[in-house]
């Protein structure tokens, strides 16, 4: 049995799990990026997040998001790029025939729109020049990676929702329903708790190296 109750692996396109996994990793990375970038935080929370460990964590999240995002929009045929939404779309069309034709065309257009976006071009460049390969920077900086802007965060969330919707259209033809969301607030609660602890520590503890 697959991870989808009541549906055998043989009944699903053989790359269905690949796209689902990439979408899940994409959602985890984006959810954490949104939490780290959350506006209007309390000072103690910002103090906690303004730590080098979170800068390293953010780079790891950007790496994961970029690689999974680009993976989902690859369109090669054959056995390569098995998590691509275009590939899934074609496989569903092969299995379901004319009943899927309308959604096949619609999904194809939606995927192409994502591929033709400036956001995709930006991430593809980041992947090709920095993450998947390492081209020498004109500035000589070998760690030239910047966090998403507010506008890019909005676009990232919109594109994730669109990819998730496309995947759901494919899933419904096999009577599969699943939820991949950005609603996990456990890390946000962690930041809030640690911010309170840091504030209490600063107000009530004098470090050995502190001087009057």
Q: Dump pLDDT digits (tens) for 78-113.
A: 787 899 999 999 999 999 999 999 999 999 999 999
Q: DSSP letters of the chain? A: --SSTT--GGGS-TTHHHHHHHHHHHHHHHHHHHHHT-SS--HHHHHHHSSHHHHHHHHHHHHHHHHHHHHHT----TTSSTT-HHHHHHHHHHHHGGGGHHHHHHHHHHHHHHHTSHHHHHHHHHIIIIISS-PPPTT--TT---PPPHHHHHHHHHHHHHHHHHHHHHHHTTT------S---HHHHHHHHHHHHHHHHHHH---TT---
Q: Dump pLDDT digits (tens) for 124-153.
A: 999 988 887 666 655 545 455 788 999 999
pTM flag (> 0.75): yes
Place 6 in a pLDDT band, splitting at 50, 70 and 90: very low
């Amino acid at each position: 049995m697959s991870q989808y109750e009541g549906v055998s692996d043989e009944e699903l396109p053989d790359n269905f799990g690949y796209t689902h996994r990439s979408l899940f990793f994409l959602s985890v990375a984006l959810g954490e990026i949104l939490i780290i970038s959350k506006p209007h935080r309390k000072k103690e929370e910002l103090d906690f997040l303004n730590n080098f460990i979170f800068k390293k964590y953010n780079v790891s999240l950007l790496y994961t998001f970029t690689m999974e995002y680009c993976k989902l929009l690859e369109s090669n045929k054959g056995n390569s790029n098995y998590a691509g939404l275009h590939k899934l779309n074609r496989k569903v069309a092969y299995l379901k025939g004319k009943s899927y034709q309308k959604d096949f065309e619609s999904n194809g257009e939606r995927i192409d729109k994502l591929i033709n976006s400036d956001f995709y071009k930006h991430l593809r460049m980041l992947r090709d020049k920095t993450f998947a390969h390492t081209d020498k920077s004109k500035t000589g900086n070998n760690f030239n990676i910047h966090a998403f802007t507010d506008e890019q965060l909005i676009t990232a969330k919109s594109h994730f929702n669109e990819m998730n919707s496309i995947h759901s259209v494919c899933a419904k033809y096999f009577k599969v329903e699943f939820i991949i969301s950005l609603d996990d607030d456990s890390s946000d609660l962690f930041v809030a708790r640690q911010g309170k602890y840091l504030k209490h520590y600063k107000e009530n503890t004098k470090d050995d190296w502190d001087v009057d």
